[in-house]
Amino acid sequence: MTVAYDGTPFHGFATNPDVRTVQDDIERALATVLRQPTPTTCAGRTDRGVHARGQVVSFDVDAAHFDADALTRALNRMLSPHIAVRDVGEVASDFDARLSCVARSYRYHITNAPTPDPLLHNRAWHIRERLEIEPMQVAADRILGEHDFTSFSKRNKSKVNETFVRRVEQVQWFRKGDAVHLDITANAFTQQMVRSLVGMFVAVGRGRRPATDIDVALGARDRAVVPTPAPPQGLVLMQARYLS
């Protein structure tokens, strides 16, 4: 199923003891409707405060007792207002929302104006000084293709020999009035990768770092050489792509 959510009240997507998560809310609702425990898998594990419009969630259910429309209505009654199931459909038995996904797309929102917009407090990063989009795009173009994003990744201490190599397919900055957006697509993302990249790009847009510092950061493979990650509320998982 395709799921949208406001990440503000959640401690991320993935289940986590003693805190509210998107996955736990969805699995409780599924268990109630389907009358059995229903583990789920998602396309991308968003962090605390990050939103989604096109998260994909897969789960197993008896096809003989499956009514997509009825399930969608029931789940939306239970999950509103912070989570919405946009559609539910049947897929092949070997489909996995994470492992079958070939690309993910995110958008980052910035309000670039002298004063903040209270209505976008949980939807965008407010930056007062005007950002220069052209050098930000020059910096962004330098991450296209396959690179080691160790410098832009939060390490998971429980994972041994974790790799941070990813392939970026598309990255584009654009301005619309007081709004500045980044669209980025890659085969996969490491934890905090997009937010860390945005932090670097914004430093370039503010004139505090040259665009070529992206090359230095990629080569250093050291998180200490990059700025603090951008705040989570500006980030949205827009789409997960699968082979037809």
The residues, ordered by sequence, that sit 6+ positions from 67 with a Cβ below 8 Å of its Cβ are none
Angle at 67 between CA 61 and CA 71, to 5 degrees: 80
Phi, psi values for residue 225, rounded to 5°: -90, -5
Q: Print burial letters for 115-152: b (CB count within 10 Å at least 16), e (below 16).
A: eeeeebeeebbbbeeebebebbbbbbebbeeebebbbb
* Structural contact between residues 75 and 61, judged by C-beta atoms closer than 8 angstroms: no
Task: Return d(Cα 55, Cα 238) in angstroms, integer.
Answer: 7
Tokens 């912070």 -> residue: 82
- C-alpha to C-alpha distance for 81 and 25, rounded to whole angstroms: 12
Dig out the tokens for 114 from the structure: 């002298």
Indicate which residues carry an active-site annotation: 47
Name the DSSP class of 65: G
Residue 90's region, left for phi above 0, alpha for psi from -120 to 50, else beta, is beta
Neighbours of 236 (CB within 10 A): 22
Token digits of residue 62: 């008896």
